[in-house]
Homo-oligomer: A and B are copies of this chain.
Amino acid sequence: MIEQPYLLFLGDAPDPLAAKVAQGIRDWRPDAAVGQYRLPDCNADMGLPDMSIAEAVAAGARTLVVGVANRGGVISPAWIDVLRDALTAGMDLASGLHNLLRDEPALVEAAQVHGRSLHDVRVPSVRYPIANGKRRSGKRCLAVGTDCSVGKMYTAIAMERAMHARGMKATFRATGQTGILITGSGVPLDAVVADFMAGAIEWLTPDNEQDHWDLIEGQGSLFHASYSGVTLALIHGGQPDALILCHEPTRTHMRGLPDFELPSLEDLAEVSLRMARMVNPACRITGISVNTHGLPEDKALAYLAAVERQMGLPTVDPFRQGADRLVDALD
């Protein structure tokens, strides 16, 4: 568990997109960050108070989160002094970069001297069990996609927000770096060793109250040749009661695979349900979430209405319309 609240380190982000981890935290856990730290060249702004390390500590910050990615996922030399100062001042560090905090001798030494933690969320920190396939109490919803990066995380976390607004018991369960930094915990599934993937998801979504929902962040796609095994482990470890189909209508081929067309929503529904019912015969598909970012408003709404007619399932873009209709359909 990464201690909150955070100081969001935006570094020398060349543009707002480079700070998308920080933006995710800002959007979904606005109370989780007390301020932002920007170097002189920074071109991103979360609209939070700019703070020095000392000011952040005084404001209660417990962890400096590297909320910025530069080319290659490297920890830039320009950052090291600030990160070391944060450790010295009593903060932990958290990062989802490919290059690890723990591989920077200056940070390792400062963390040791000051008794602080370095959280590299790209690397599993738990010895996960082998999955046992046992049914667990409580309810689980999983977002599955026609492709990678079609809005599965967004959908799950938007549903959590809508459920909390209704006073429902719900927990977003992160399975990727950004989600883990947003919530402070989770499983970096793509970095888990093959034998333990499904067990990691069982561990992440344990027995719970009967009326509690886990909203599990999806990964990959059953139809994506590179990552389908990760997706199937999510389905079989998560034992979902409900599946949300996720899609991005302007994509011309599978992400990173120019020779592969996206499957139809019908195909996604059929295959996902077939696999999910192996472990939970009561599983059903309850809704469809479409990322219509690439379409103008009128085309987006027409597309959503057409899919809803075609599939006979509530179909929304949670970014444009909120996730309420997806939550309604869980009953």
Contacts and interface: CB of A to CB of B under 8 A. Distances in A.
Interface of A: 130-135, 189-195, 197-199, 222-223, 225-233, 236-237, 254, 256-257, 259-260, 263, 271, 274-275, 278-279
A185 to B, nearest CB: 19
A194 B133 contact: no
Given A131-B226, A229-B232, A189 B198 contact: no
Given A271-B274, A274-B271, A226 B193 contact: no
A197 B194 contact: yes
A128 to B, nearest CB: 11
B197 A225 contact: no
Copies of this chain, how many? Answer: 2
Nearest to A230: B194
B232 A228 contact: yes
Q: Which 5 A-B pairs have the closest CB atoms?
A: A229-B233, A133-B225, A229-B229, A131-B226, A190-B195
A189 B195 CA distance: 8
Given A132-B226, A194-B230, 6 more contacts: A194-B197, A199-B226, A225-B279, A228-B232, A231-B232, A271-B274
Contacts of A225: 131-133, 198, 236-237, 278-279
A195 B237 contact: no
Contacts of A227: 195, 198
Nearest to A188: B194
Contacts of A223: 278
B134 A259 contact: yes
Nearest to A274: B271
